[in-house]
């Protein structure tokens, strides 16, 4: 779930944020739909050099009865501690992984690897291969997603959230080659994100991409050809029928 | 009065939120030993390392009051995650002794011969051993709960195991003896399933 200016938004290729509605309302609905886990990302925080919005996050946490992770503007241990205290299980770090070396290790030492997710935003290079970005896709980092993933694992991160900037919001399927190339380089779980449109896509990322878990945005907030805003989620029966658990 | 013990560790906000959601009346967060005697039921949360938890609990000065509540007055207590492990005798994770209410030690998952990773993190199904136990609902054997842990209780007495879960091998997902309860998973993060379990505990 992407938050910008306290509202829920959905981007396309990390730009053109489309306002969807109230965050807390969305959390309540996802609660009712018994989603496994919610990941909230404040996409403006790092660019605007801002702290997490703790009062909004406290309100959100009080409505959620499933595991939650938060990312966006986390740059020191105190912020992470506060997030754990208000009820978030895991924190997601992207920009600070590059700009604040040592932060991941500090948080891991305090709360354990399982509480830290490093988010890698990958963008295709013009010719071949990928590079990475920070600050909401605005700043380029001269490392491949594979290199960053290896560094993240070394730093003690518990999971990698791998975003394909090119597939984001397009619902054109996951970038399976990207996912596979990162998953084979690390032993920690890789969560695939970017491009999911239906259960078949989820299964493909798990089976062919070797992702440990799959995340989706547009698939759960848009419905139909005209992309009407409607929060929708496959239920357990549909997931079983789609073969998700056979992977 | 349901007292949630605040000794410095654990997902206290989430537990209080879920108790509020299920409509539990008279829920209090306690950190003073003198408040414990007014409680009808205690909830002991916990997240993190065993020694950190036991040291903080001992430093809080609450242990004697909790002992009186549980062992002398035999009033209900529910340990959650690390809180459950602290109800046992000890843990391989640390050197401190636990509260010793139930005869078990906590050991690290031995998954050498498996592709599975530690910690056991995620939603998992449980199977209920003692169907008639008050905190168990009908159909709980097909319910999922959220687990995040690297250590699990190994009970000396099989009758203390309330629920099993399977991660490489069966392990105790919940324990109970008399009015002493422990759950390895996080009911406060297991939406409607957790709400049912907490509702049952509040009514015990």
pLDDT in tens, A32-44: 888 889 999 999 8
Average pLDDT over residues B131-143: 89
Query: Over chain A, what is the mean pLDDT?
Result: 92
Best of B191, B195, B198, B199 to disrupt the A interface (most A CBs within 10 Å) is B191
**Lowest-confidence pick of A32-36, A121-125, A166-170:** A32-36
Q: Report chain A residues touching chain B, CB-CB < 8 A.
A: 31, 34, 36, 58, 61-63, 65-67, 85-87, 89, 111-112, 114, 158, 187-189
Backbone angles phi, psi at B166, to 5 degrees: -115, 120
Query: Over chain B, what is the mean pLDDT?
Result: 93
Average pLDDT over residues B30-59: 92
Given a contact cutoff of 8 angstroms between Cβ atoms, the answer to whether B174 and B162 are in contact is yes
Q: Which residues of B touch A111 (CB under 8 A)?
A: 48
CATH code at position A233: 3.20.20.70
Q: How far apart are CA B25 and CA A46, in angstroms?
A: 42
DSSP label at residue A129: S
Instruction: Give the pLDDT confidence of A134-162 residue by residue, as tens digits.
Output: 999 999 999 999 999 999 999 999 999 99
Given a contact cutoff of 8 angstroms between Cβ atoms, the answer to whether B74 and B178 are in contact is yes
Q: How far apart are CA B96 and CA A4, in angstroms?
A: 46
pTM of the model: 0.87
Among the listed residues B69, B81, B120, B155, the single catalytic one is B81
Given a contact cutoff of 8 angstroms between Cβ atoms, the answer to whether A141 and A134 are in contact is yes
Name the pLDDT band for A247 (thresholds 50, 70, 90): low
Degrees, nearest 5: CA angle B187-A187-A197: 70
Given a contact cutoff of 8 angstroms between Cβ atoms, the answer to whether B107 and B98 are in contact is no
Cβ neighbors of B74 (< 8 A, separation 6 or more) are: B178, B179
Best of B7, B8, B11, B14 to disrupt the A interface (most A CBs within 10 Å) is B14
Average pLDDT over residues B30-36: 93
The two three-digit tokens of residue B64, written as one number: 């004697």
Nearest to B79 by CA among B9, B126, B170: B9
Is residue B118 predicted with pLDDT exceeding 70? yes
DSSP label at residue B100: -
User: B189 in helix, strand or coil?
Assistant: helix
List, in order of start, the domains of chain B with CATH numbers.
2-203 (3.40.50.880)
Average pLDDT over residues A156-177: 95
Backbone angles phi, psi at B123, to 5 degrees: -80, 140
Instruction: Check CB contact under 8 Å for B119 and A62.
Output: no
In this structure, chain B runs to a length of 204
Name the pLDDT band for B141 (thresholds 50, 70, 90): confident
For chain A, say whether B195 makes contact (Cβ under 8 Å).
yes
Consecutive H or E run containing B181: strand B180-183
Partnered with residue A116 across adjacent β-strands are A91
Max mean pLDDT range (A230-244, B5-19, B175-189)? B175-189
Q: Into how many domains does chain A fold?
A: 1
Characterize the bridge pairing of strands B170-177 and B180-183.
antiparallel
Max mean pLDDT range (A2-6, A27-31, A62-66, B66-70)? B66-70
Consecutive H or E run containing A154: helix A145-155
Q: How far apart are CA A167 and CA A193, in angstroms?
A: 9
DSSP label at residue A141: E
The residue that leads in pLDDT, B174 or A242, is B174
ipTM of the assembly? Answer: 0.80
The rounded percent of chain B whose pLDDT value lies above 90 is 80
Given a contact cutoff of 8 angstroms between Cβ atoms, the answer to whether A125 and A114 are in contact is no
Is residue B113 predicted with pLDDT exceeding 80? no
Name the pLDDT band for A113 (thresholds 50, 70, 90): confident
DSSP label at residue B74: -
Instruction: Give the pLDDT confidence of A200-244 residue by residue, as tens digits.
Output: 999 999 999 999 999 999 999 999 888 899 888 888 889 889 888
Phi-psi region at B122: left, alpha or beta (left = phi > 0; alpha = psi -120 to 50): left
Given a contact cutoff of 8 angstroms between Cβ atoms, the answer to whether A119 and A92 are in contact is yes
Average pLDDT over residues A21-38: 90
Q: How many Cβ pairs closer than 8 A exist between chain A and B?
A: 49
The residue written with tokens 């994770």 in the block is: B93
Average pLDDT over residues A130-136: 94
The residue that leads in pLDDT, B141 or A141, is A141
Instruction: Give the pLDDT confidence of A73-85 residue by residue, as tens digits.
Output: 999 999 999 998 8
Q: How far apart are CA A218 and CA A196, in angstroms?
A: 7
Radius of gyration of chain B (CA): 16
A138: containing domain: 2-246
pLDDT value at position B34? 92
Q: How far apart are CA A147 and CA A129, in angstroms?
A: 12
Q: Which residues of A touch B21 (CB under 8 A)?
A: 65
Among the listed residues B120, B149, B152, B186, the single catalytic one is B186
pLDDT value at position A191? 95
The rounded percent of chain A whose pLDDT value lies above 70 is 100
């Amino acid at each position: 779930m992407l938050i910008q200016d306290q509202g829920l938004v959905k981007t396309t290729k990390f730009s053109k944020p489309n306002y969807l509605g109230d965050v807390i309302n969305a959390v309540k609905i996802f609660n009712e739909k018994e989603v496994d886990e919610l990941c909230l990302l404040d996409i403006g925080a790092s660019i605007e050099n801002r702290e997490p919005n703790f009062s909004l996050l406290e309100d959100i946490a009080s409505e959620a009865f499933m595991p939650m992770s938060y990312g966006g503007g986390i740059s020191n241990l105190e912020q992470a501690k506060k997030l754990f205290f208000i009820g978030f299980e895991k924190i997601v770090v992207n920009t600070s992984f590059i700009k604040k070396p040592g932060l991941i290790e500090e948080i891991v030492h305090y709360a354990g690897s399982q509480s830290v997710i490093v988010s890698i935003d990958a963008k295709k290079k013009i010719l071949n291969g990928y590079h990475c970005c920070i600050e909401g896709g605005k700043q380029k980092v001269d490392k491949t997603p594979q290199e960053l993933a290896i560094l993240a694992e070394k730093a003690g991160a518990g999971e990698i959230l791998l975003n394909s900037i090119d597939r984001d919001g397009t619902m054109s399927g996951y970038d399976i080659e990207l996912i596979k190339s990162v998953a084979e380089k690390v032993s920690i779980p890789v969560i695939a994100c970017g491009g999911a449109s239906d259960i078949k896509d989820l299964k493909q990322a798990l089976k062919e991409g070797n992702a440990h878990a799959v995340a989706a945005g547009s698939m759960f907030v848009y419905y139909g050809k005209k992309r009407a805003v409607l929060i929708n989620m496959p239920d357990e029966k549909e997931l079983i029928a789609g073969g998700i658990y056979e992977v | 009065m349901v007292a949630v013990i605040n000794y410095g560790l654990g997902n206290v906000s989430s537990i209080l939120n879920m108790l509020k959601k299920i409509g539990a009346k008279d829920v209090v967060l306690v950190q003073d030993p003198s408040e414990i005697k007014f409680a009808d039921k205690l909830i002991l949360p916990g997240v993190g390392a065993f020694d950190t938890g036991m040291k903080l609990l001992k430093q809080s000065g609450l242990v004697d009051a909790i002992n009186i509540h549980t062992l002398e007055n035999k009033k209900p207590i529910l340990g959650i995650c690390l809180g459950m492990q602290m109800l046992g005798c000890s843990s391989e994770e640390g050197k401190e002794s636990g509260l010793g209410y139930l005869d078990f030690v906590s050991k690290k998952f031995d998954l050498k011969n498996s592709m599975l990773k530690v910690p056991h993190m995620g939603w998992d199904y449980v199977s209920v051993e003692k169907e008639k136990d008050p905190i168990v609902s009908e159909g709980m054997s097909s319910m999922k709960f959220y687990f995040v842990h690297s250590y699990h209780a190994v009970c000396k007495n099989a009758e203390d195991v309330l629920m099993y879960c399977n991660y490489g091998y069966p392990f105790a997902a919940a324990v109970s003896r008399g009015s002493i309860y422990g759950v390895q998973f996080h009911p406060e993060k297991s939406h409607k399933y957790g709400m049912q379990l907490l509702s049952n505990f509040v009514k015990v």
